[in-house]
Each structure stands twice: as C-alpha cells, then as structure tokens.
Amino acid sequence: MHNRLLPTLLIITLLAMVAGFTYVHWSKSGPGAGLYSRDWLPDPVQGYWDPNNFYRSSDSVQGVFEGKQCVQCHEEITPGIVADWRASRHAQGDEKVFCNDCHGGDHQRLHLPTPEVCGSCHNKQQNESEDEARYGFPSHILAMERAVDAPHFADKPKAEVQSCVQCHSVATKCDSCHTRHRFDAAESRRPEACITCHSGPPHPDDTTYFASAHGQIYLAEGKDWDWSKPLTKGNYKAPTCAYCHMDAGRHQVAHKSMWKFGLREINPHTSNNQILRRRWIELCSDCHAEKEAAQWLGELDRERKQAWSMLYMAEAVLKNLRSDQLLQPSAAERPPYPMGSLWPMERIGFYEGQASAFYNVSGIERDYFEMWYFDNLGAYKSAAHGDSAGVKEGHQKMATSLEHIQTKAHKLRQRAATEQETEITPAAPSIWNSGAYTDYNREHN
Ligand code: HEC
Ligand code: HEC
Ligand code: HEC
Ligand code: HEC
Ligand code: HEC
Ligand code: HEC
Ligand code: HEC
Ligand code: HEC
C-alpha cells in the first residue's frame, strides 16, 4: 500500500507542476504582458514605457543615416532634443555617442534604448540593476512586472493604469533619474529626480524627507552645493534620497531595505535583516556616531511594532465579522474582482491579498484598506525618514480609523441581530454588479 501511494503522489505532484507551468506560460502569451496578458491590450504609448516588449518603429522617414545626419535633420524637427544631447557628456570629445548609437541607423527600424543598449557601454550600472532582482520585491528592476501582474492593473479603466507604467517603467529604461537627452549624473543625485515617482499617499517619500532635518538642510543650502561630486563620504553635508539609497553610485535601491514598503510586518532581528541594518548604520556613520544611528533606526522598529499592533486589532475585527458572515455584500455576491479569482473570498491582511481591497469591497473592508495603505504607510515613511510630526499624525489617524472600524462593526452586528428578529435580509446593493470597475471596463480593456 505504502509503496504504491508514494509514486502516485509523486506523479500527481509532477502533473500539477507541469499544468501550473503550462498555465502560466499560456497566460503570459497574450497581446499584453505579464500574468494577465490575455486581459488587456497595450495602447501604442506603452511602447515608450516598455520598449523591449512593445515599441514599434515609425516608418514615415526612409533611409539609413550616420550620426551627423541624424543631428542635422533633428536640429529642425526636435531642436530641444538636439540641444540637450549637445550639452550632455555623450556629445563631448572626439568619440561622441551619436543618436544612432542608441536608436539605430535605419529610420524605419528605430529602437528606443533598453537598459541593455545603455549597458553595452555602461556595464557596471546595468549589471548592478539586474543583480537587484535577487533581493525580491520591492525593487526597481522588478517594478514593471510588479505593476502589470497586479490584478487591478488589468481590471481598472485603461485611463487610470497608464500612470502605473509611467512610474513602474523605472525597470525597463534608464532615463528615469537622469532624463533624456542630458543624461546628467548631477540631476540624478538630487531628490527631485526621485520624487516624480516617490510621492503621493502610499509612498510620501517627498513630504517626509523634506520635513526631516536632512530635507530641511537640503532646502536651505542645496542650491549652493556642487552636484558634480559623486555620492560618497565627505562630499555632501546632508544626504539626499540617492545618497542614502544608492550610496556610492550603486545602481540598486533594495540592498539595504528590510521593511518591504511597510505593507507587512517583518522581524527586524533575523540574521539577514541584521546584515541589512548594519549596512544602514555604516551609511549613517558617514556623518553620525554609529551608536546614535543604531538607536534612531531602533526607533523605527518600535514605531512599526506599535503600528502593527493597531493594524492587527483592526484585522481581527474584520476577520470576526467575516466568520459570522456579516460583511455585506459578501465576496460571493460581488462580481469576480479582482480578475481570475477562482475562490471568491473577503481578503483580509497582506497574506490573503489585501491589496485587492482597493475596489469592490464592503465599506468596512475599504476602511481597513485605507488605514493599512494610507495611514500606516504614511507613518512608516515618516519614521524611516525622520519626520517626527508625520509619525504622530499617522498614528493618530490609525487610532481614529481603528475606532471607526470598531464602531462600524458594532453597528453591523446590531443590525444583523435586528434583522434576525424581523427576518428581513437586505439585498446586496446593485452598484457591485455593474459600473466603471466591472462589466463596462472588462469589455474595454
Ligand atoms: C531627414 C530627416 C531625418 C533624419 C536624417 C533623421 N530623422 Fe529621426 N525623425 C524625423 C522625423 C520627421 C521624425 C518623426 C517621425 C514620425 O513621427 O513618424 C523622426 C523621429 C525620430 C524618432 C522618434 C521615433 C518614435 O517612434 O517616436 C527617433 C528616435 C529618431 N527620429 C531618431 C533618429 C536617428 C537615430 C537618426 C539617424 C540615424 C534620425 N532620426 C535621422 C526625421 C529625421
Ligand atoms: C544615450 C542614448 C541616446 C542618445 C545618444 C540619443 N537618444 Fe534619443 N532617446 C533615448 C532614450 C532613453 C529615449 C526614451 C526612450 C523611451 O521613452 O523609452 C529617447 C527618445 C528619443 C525620441 C522620442 C521620445 C521623445 O521624447 O519624443 C526621439 C525623437 C529621440 N530620442 C531622438 C534622438 C536624437 C535626434 C538623438 C541625437 C541628437 C538622440 N535621440 C540621441 C536615448 C538616446
Ligand atoms: C556607445 C556607448 C554609450 C552608450 C550606448 C551610452 N552611453 Fe552613456 N556615456 C558614454 C560615454 C563615453 C560617457 C562619458 C564617459 C563616462 O562617464 O563614462 C557616458 C556618460 C554617461 C553618463 C554620465 C554623465 C555625467 O553627467 O557624468 C550617464 C548618466 C550616461 N552616460 C547614461 C547613459 C544612458 C542612460 C544610456 C542609455 C540610454 C547611455 N548612457 C548609453 C557612452 C555611452
Ligand atoms: C507616482 C508613481 C506611481 C504610480 C502612478 C503607481 N505606482 Fe506603484 N509604486 C510606486 C512606488 C514608488 C512604489 C514603492 C514604494 C515603496 O517601496 O515605498 C510602488 C509600489 C507598488 C507595488 C508594491 C510593490 C511590491 O513589490 O510589493 C505594487 C503592486 C504597485 N506599486 C502597483 C501599481 C499599480 C498596479 C499602479 C497603477 C494602478 C501603480 N502601482 C501606480 C510608484 C507608483
Ligand atoms: C520612474 C519612477 C521612479 C523613479 C524616478 C525612482 N523610483 Fe524608486 N521606485 C519606483 C517604483 C515603481 C518602485 C516600486 C517597485 C516595485 O513595484 O517593486 C520603487 C521602489 C523604490 C525603493 C524600494 C526598494 C525596496 O527594497 O523596498 C527605493 C528605496 C527607491 N525606489 C528609491 C529611489 C530613489 C532613491 C530614487 C531616485 C534616485 C528613485 N527611487 C527613483 C519608481 C521610481
Ligand atoms: C533610480 C535612479 C537611477 C536609475 C533608474 C538609473 N540611474 Fe544611473 N545614476 C543615478 C545616480 C544617483 C547617479 C550618481 C551616482 C553617484 O553620484 O555616485 C547615476 C550615475 C550614472 C552614471 C555615471 C556614473 C559615474 O561614475 O559618473 C552612469 C553611466 C549611469 N548612471 C548609467 C545608468 C544606466 C545605464 C542606467 C540603466 C541601467 C541607469 N543609470 C539608471 C541614478 C539612476
Ligand atoms: C538618511 C537616509 C535617507 C534619506 C535621505 C532617504 N531615505 Fe528613504 N529610507 C531610509 C531608511 C533608513 C528607510 C527604511 C528602510 C528599511 O530599513 O526597510 C527608508 C525607506 C524608504 C523606502 C521604502 C523601502 C522599503 O522597502 O520599505 C523608499 C521607497 C524610500 N525610502 C525612498 C526615499 C526617497 C524617494 C527619498 C528622497 C525623497 C528618501 N528615501 C530619502 C533612509 C533614507
Ligand atoms: C551626509 C551626511 C549625513 C548622513 C549620511 C546622515 N545624516 Fe542624519 N543628519 C545630518 C546632518 C548634517 C544633520 C543635522 C545636524 C544634526 O542635527 O546633527 C542630521 C540630522 C539627523 C537627525 C536629526 C537629529 C536631531 O538631533 O534632531 C536624525 C534623526 C538623523 N540625522 C538620522 C540619520 C540616519 C538614521 C541616517 C542614516 C540612515 C543619517 N541620519 C544619515 C547628516 C547626515
């Protein structure tokens, strides 16, 4: 009996694995990209954000040109681009990097440079970026797949998701921080290079940095600093985003971070996280005493513990409502959102896929989502970046949200009790069954 069961189990496991791989392969082979590639069609502009997958050359100009010819004609057509290129390092000296070095010479087969194209001359930076994948999410190199693999990317109205790829294209092209066609290292050292993307309520890196002692010094004195210097010890009085996250010009942002965007609780004391923490302390000690830096970062851990104790209380309230079937409408009564969910369920907490609670949820689930995604992440970034007023504000908001959730839960329970007495069950509101985020949208993606 025993020796038959084992091979059977093995075969079933193998078959399941093959089926899994085949399914993933199939789901990635649609006109879009990523896990939901069959559920969305790329707009033409997608070619500029993700050139490797989607760029198609325009074919209105015929001919194969040399660098000087490109410059000559484009001087008329796109003078701004040519002026920026002329001012860049690429146009200095005898060995100029011409338009065709990045775009190709055949005008009907142009390409937009992927990191590989830049990497053919800037090996170090490209290798470092690629190597970042080993730290897992979040990271710059995995950002594009993270966005397009999010169910709400495929399910939301098209107009709203163009912005996702604009920011998440940090993975698929090299001009996010040193913009084309200046490609200026000095530009990328300044916080402005990062905050085009690192802003807004789930990641208020801009406001929290500018409110910190570091940001205040930058605002007061930064205009007089010599930004041509690399980001190494002794060159800057106060750190900028890149000084801290890309120290010594390393083209990685994930090699020190442990808190994973603040979305879930982690244990800062594992041996691996202690290594990451050491890296931070070493960096801070460019300018501070090690001991003091370690204590400041310890404050961040305490802030996180406090935040998570509140978040878990709110999660428990929701989970109890769920097990008493008091979340209305229930997941089974909602349209299948996010896409592809085989087992409709109310997802509470990071590990159940809380991020899908953006839409198509009951009021109280959305309340928790806001507490988790906005109040909590705001508090986290304030603590990480040294904005003490922001920490206080974030925690106050979380406390208010928690109280609100508890009150609402109480009301739901009271209502359920009354309904049981009178035997009236209200119908699920019809808003969930059609609307901007449901049928209409699915037909138009
Ligand atoms: C005779 C004039 C002329 C020459 C020479 C020329 N271009 Fe262009 N280029 C244009 C015009 C016109 C457009 C706009 C085409 C369009 O919108 O369909 C353009 C567009 C482009 C684009 C944008 C493509 C897109 O999809 O947005 C790139 C990149 C480009 N050129 C690069 C080059 C390079 C590299 C060379 C040299 C190998 C070059 N051009 C030579 C006229 C020229
Ligand atoms: C160092 C590489 C590099 C060089 C050299 C270069 N480009 Fe580009 N170019 C880029 C990158 C990167 C983009 C953005 C691609 C994207 O959006 O995916 C771009 C985009 C463009 C675009 C379309 C985007 C827009 O802003 O409208 C045009 C047109 C263009 N380049 C023309 C030129 C011309 C003309 C030259 C020479 C004067 C030139 N490029 C030299 C890297 C380069
Ligand atoms: C054909 C080779 C070549 C290609 C392709 C190329 N570069 Fe460069 N790049 C150079 C050279 C040469 C320099 C000047 C010397 C140096 O700093 O290495 C330079 C300098 C730079 C600098 C430093 C500028 C400064 O202010 O000091 C940046 C940033 C840069 N390149 C970015 C890019 C990006 C992004 C791409 C792709 C879109 C790219 N390069 C493609 C050759 C190239
Ligand atoms: C303004 C720029 C911006 C826009 C727009 C944007 N994101 Fe992001 N996104 C970010 C940044 C920055 C982070 C990382 C924040 C951090 O680590 O603190 C992030 C994080 C994420 C994460 C979590 C990362 C992880 O690996 O756990 C996901 C998933 C995500 N975004 C998906 C999307 C989707 C889908 C959209 C469009 C609906 C979108 N983003 C729109 C900038 C943006
Ligand atoms: C074009 C948009 C864009 C720009 C510019 C940008 N980032 Fe990001 N960054 C992102 C996105 C998107 C993510 C989230 C990636 C994901 O989904 O996993 C991210 C993630 C991060 C993370 C989180 C890494 C981790 O392990 O948690 C750090 C740190 C970071 N960026 C720092 C910077 C710094 C510093 C700069 C400027 C020098 C910068 N970013 C510029 C879009 C951008
Ligand atoms: C998240 C922002 C960001 C992105 C994305 C980015 N860079 Fe950079 N890059 C920087 C910063 C910051 C510096 C300045 C580093 C320093 O001062 O030591 C820099 C400097 C450079 C330099 C000049 C190095 C030197 O020593 O002068 C090159 C070349 C370069 N980057 C190439 C690339 C290439 C190639 C890519 C794409 C694979 C890329 N960068 C993507 C932020 C970025
Ligand atoms: C004094 C150094 C310092 C400066 C300056 C700084 N940060 Fe941070 N940042 C941190 C620390 C420390 C953390 C917490 C990382 C951890 O341990 O997980 C953090 C966290 C982050 C994260 C989330 C990483 C994660 O995985 O949770 C992002 C994204 C980020 N910072 C972006 C920025 C941006 C953008 C700027 C500039 C506006 C900036 N930072 C300025 C030190 C700094
Ligand atoms: C490039 C230099 C530099 C680096 C790197 C740096 N700081 Fe600072 N920091 C300063 C300066 C300058 C001040 C303002 C003067 C002061 O209060 O000591 C400051 C102030 C602070 C303050 C406020 C101190 C107070 O007494 O109010 C905190 C907290 C802080 N830094 C934490 C950190 C942490 C944590 C790191 C590493 C993640 C770090 N700093 C990295 C230069 C730096």
User: Averaged over 383-402, what is the pLDDT?
Assistant: 98
Pocket flag, ligand 6, residue 242 (CB < 6 Å)? yes
Q: What is the dihedral of CA 34, 37, 43, 49, to 10 degrees?
A: 10
User: Averaged over 123-146, what is the pLDDT?
Assistant: 97
> Residue 299 pLDDT > 70, yes or no?
yes
Quote the pLDDT of residue 51.
96
Question: CB within 8 A of 104, min separation 6: which ones?
Answer: 110, 111
Closest atom of ligand 1 relative to the 102 alpha carbon? 35
295 burial (CB, 10 Å; 0-12 / 13-18 / 19+) is exposed
Quote the pLDDT of residue 182.
98
- Amino acid in the structure at residue 431: I
Give dist(CA 81, CA 83) in Å, integer. 5
Each residue's pLDDT tens digit, 34-69: 998 988 889 889 999 999 999 999 899 999 999 999
Report whether 198 contacts 374 (CB < 8 A).
Answer: no
Residue nearest to atom 41 of ligand 3 (CA): 118
Question: CB within 8 A of 422, min separation 6: which ones?
Answer: none
Report whether 126 contacts 116 (CB < 8 A).
Answer: yes
Question: CB within 8 A of 166, min separation 6: which ones?
Answer: 49
- Ligand positioned closest to the Cα atom of 69: 1
Report whether 386 contacts 379 (CB < 8 A).
Answer: no
Q: Positive or negative CA dihedral for 131, 134, 136, 142?
A: positive
Range of weakest confidence among 120-129, 158-167, 258-267, 288-297: 158-167
Give dist(CA 383, CA 398) in Å, integer. 14
Quote the pLDDT of residue 433.
55
Pocket flag, ligand 3, residue 174 (CB < 6 Å)? yes
Quote the pLDDT of residue 440.
55
For ligand 4, mutation pick of 167, 195, 255 (most atoms within 8 Å of CB): 167
> Residue 100 pLDDT > 80, yes or no?
yes
Q: Residue 3, Cβ neighbours under 10 Å: how many?
A: 6
With tokens 């992440």, the residue in question is 377
Pocket flag, ligand 5, residue 173 (CB < 6 Å)? no
Pocket flag, ligand 1, residue 60 (CB < 6 Å)? yes
Largest CA distance in the chain: 88
Give the best-scoring range by mean pLDDT among 22-26, 39-43, 298-302.
298-302
> For the chain, what percent of residues have pLDDT higher than 70?
93
Residue nearest to atom 17 of ligand 5 (CA): 143
Give 359's pLDDT tier (boundaries 50, 70, 90).
confident
> Residue 330 pLDDT > 90, yes or no?
no
Pocket flag, ligand 4, residue 138 (CB < 6 Å)? yes
Quote the pLDDT of residue 430.
56
**In terms of Cα–Cα distance, which of 262, 368, 351, 352 is closest to 305?**
262
Angle at 388 between CA 387 and CA 390, to 5 degrees: 70
Pocket flag, ligand 2, residue 178 (CB < 6 Å)? no
With tokens 């109310």, the residue in question is 346
Each residue's pLDDT tens digit, 188-242: 999 999 999 999 999 999 999 999 999 999 999 999 999 999 999 999 999 999 9
Q: What is the dihedral of CA 342, 262, 368, 437, to 10 degrees?
A: -50
Pocket flag, ligand 4, residue 203 (CB < 6 Å)? yes
Question: CB within 8 A of 379, min separation 6: which ones?
Answer: 303, 307, 390, 391, 393, 394, 395, 397, 398
- Amino acid in the structure at residue 370: E
Radius of gyration (Cα) for the chain, nearest Å?
26
Quote the pLDDT of residue 357.
75
| Two structure tokens written together for 91 | 């146009």
Pocket flag, ligand 5, residue 261 (CB < 6 Å)? yes
User: Averaged over 80-104, what is the pLDDT?
Assistant: 97
Cis, peptide link before residue 74, omega less than 30° from 0: no
Closest atom of ligand 1 relative to the 65 alpha carbon? 38
Quote the pLDDT of residue 170.
98
- Ligand positioned closest to the Cα atom of 123: 6
Cis, peptide link before residue 338, omega less than 30° from 0: yes
User: What's the mean pLDDT when you consider all of the chain?
Assistant: 92
Residue nearest to atom 42 of ligand 8 (CA): 238
Residue nearest to atom 3 of ligand 3 (CA): 121
Kindly give the distance from the C-alpha atom of residue 119 to the centroid of ligand 3, in angstroms, as a whole number.
9
Quote the pLDDT of residue 188.
98
Closest atom of ligand 8 relative to the 236 alpha carbon? 1
Report whether 180 contacts 123 (CB < 8 A).
Answer: no
Pocket flag, ligand 4, residue 150 (CB < 6 Å)? yes
For ligand 7, mutation pick of 132, 146, 257, 302 (most atoms within 8 Å of CB): 257
Quote the pLDDT of residue 99.
98
Side-chain half-sphere of 194: how many Cα atoms within 13 Å?
A: 20
Pocket flag, ligand 6, residue 174 (CB < 6 Å)? yes
Give dist(CA 221, CA 173) in Å, integer. 32
> Residue 88 pLDDT > 80, yes or no?
yes
Each residue's pLDDT tens digit, 237-289: 999 999 999 999 999 999 999 999 999 999 999 999 999 999 999 999 999 99
> Residue 153 pLDDT > 90, yes or no?
no
Question: CB within 8 A of 250, min separation 6: which ones?
Answer: 128
Give dist(CA 51, CA 44) in Å, integer. 11
Question: CB within 8 A of 371, min separation 6: which ones?
Answer: 310, 311, 314, 397, 398, 401, 402, 405
**Length of the chain, please?**
445
Give 2's pLDDT tier (boundaries 50, 70, 90).
low
